[in-house]
Copies of this chain bind each other. A is one copy, B any other.
Amino acid sequence: MSKVRKPPDVAATHELVRIDERALKQALAALQHGPIRFRRNDVIACEGDAADYVFLVASGVVRSCKTFDNGGRNVVAFYLSGDLFGFGDQKCALSIEACTDAMVLFIKRAGLMSLAAQENHVARFLLATATNELRRAQDHAILMSQNAKRRVIGFLTDWSMRLGETRQISLPMPYQDIADHLGLTIETVSRTLTKLERSGAIARSSRPRSLILRNRTNA
């Protein structure tokens, strides 16, 4: 049905024993539900919902975001194919939404947790996953203390690493999502990209929703 590829960063950046992916998938088979198809901007889980399920992105890009009273919004993280997330809280602190058309696999959280209690490699996999996401969140927090130019460049490089695309990278999510992720306005994001283009750091790709990283030293 859906090819769930293992996120490269989890295995690559942690020396925790790499678990047998097949074994995990087999154990998860009884717990999983879906994958379900969502369309761009569909709400996958609502802020405040009971977090009965953990999410595994099968395709597309998913965002977790917090909405403020004043109507503002903040995109806490993007998740893409292979990313497992949402096992942190009993209640969904953030709403989960589809940035693009996406396929999401639902895994019963209670079942996954009891599986982790029995199978130690599952617990270690979850630990590695959580640790990896923690580092990303901390890096992001650091990025948020920089100016607009560095934030945009930092996001682009981070995103290219996650995609594994070093030259031409695709940005399937709308600029508004990137702006809300970086704590900037969409105008500032647009202006910053224009400046980066003029300075030669990036180039607009012929393909839509993608651009080319030129020389990252020019950052």
- Give residues in A with beta carbon < 8 Å to B: 14-17, 66, 74, 76-77, 87-90, 93-94, 113, 116-118, 120, 123-124, 126-127, 130-131, 133-135, 137-138, 140-142, 144-145, 180, 182-183
Contacts and interface: CB of A to CB of B under 8 A. Distances in A.
18 contacts: A17-B117, A74-B142, A76-B138, A77-B138, A88-B134, A94-B138, A118-B120, A123-B124, A123-B127, A137-B137, A140-B141, A141-B141, A141-B144, A144-B144, A144-B145, A144-B183, A145-B180, A145-B182
A133 to B, nearest CB: 6
Q: Is the interface of A mostly helix, strand, loop or mixed?
A: helix
Nearest to A121: B117
A17 B117 CA distance: 9
Q: How often does this chain occur in the complex, in copies?
A: 2
B88 A135 contact: yes
A216 B37 CA distance: 42
Contact of A135 (B16, B74, B89, B131): B89
**CB-CB nearest 4 A-B residue pairs:** A145-B183, A144-B144, A137-B137, A123-B123
A211 to B, nearest CB: 24
B117 A124 contact: yes
A93 B183 contact: no
A153 B118 CA distance: 42
A14 B117 CA distance: 15
A153 B35 CA distance: 41
Contacts of A180: 145
Given A144-B183, A183-B145, A131 B74 contact: no
Contacts of A144: 141, 144-145, 183
Contact of A131 (B77, B88, B124, B142): B88
A118 B17 CA distance: 13
